Amino acid sequence: MTAPGPNVPLFRLRAGRALALGFLAMGAVAWIVTLPGVAGALLAGIPVAALTPKFVRLTRPLIATFAAALTGAVIGALTFGQGAGLIRLVAGVIAGAAAAPWCVVLAFILWTRAHAPSGTP
């Protein structure tokens, strides 16, 4: 018996499905924890992710996208959230943990599409 590899259908997760699942996760965090944190993460992370295809290397833009989304989530939760300051800070970190990977996946997808050879779909 062979170990499951990347050709097993379970492991074939397309980029659109990953973004849709991430969107559902962000919606759940926005509903349960904090909407301002998720909105702040998206408002800060998406513009940085949109700039990612302009870079030749991928490491720095992905780190910058993650940091911008996490910072936006914390600022959004602290500024517009409700409750004590420590609770808003924790809510912002949780919202950043939900929204920042989605922004990073978006940046990666945009970068790979911009740098793909011309013959690939």
Assess if residue 6 is contained within a domain: no
Could you give the angle at which helices 85-114 and 59-80 cross, rounded to 10 degrees? Answer: 150
Domain count, the chain: 1
Assess if residue 120 is contained within a domain: no
pLDDT band at residue 16 under the 50/70/90 scheme:
confident
Assess if residue 72 is contained within a domain: yes
More confidently predicted of 9 and 60: 60
Note down the domain range covering 61.
Answer: 34-114
Residue recorded with tokens 């970190």: 93
pLDDT at 113: 84
pTM for the whole thing? Answer: 0.82
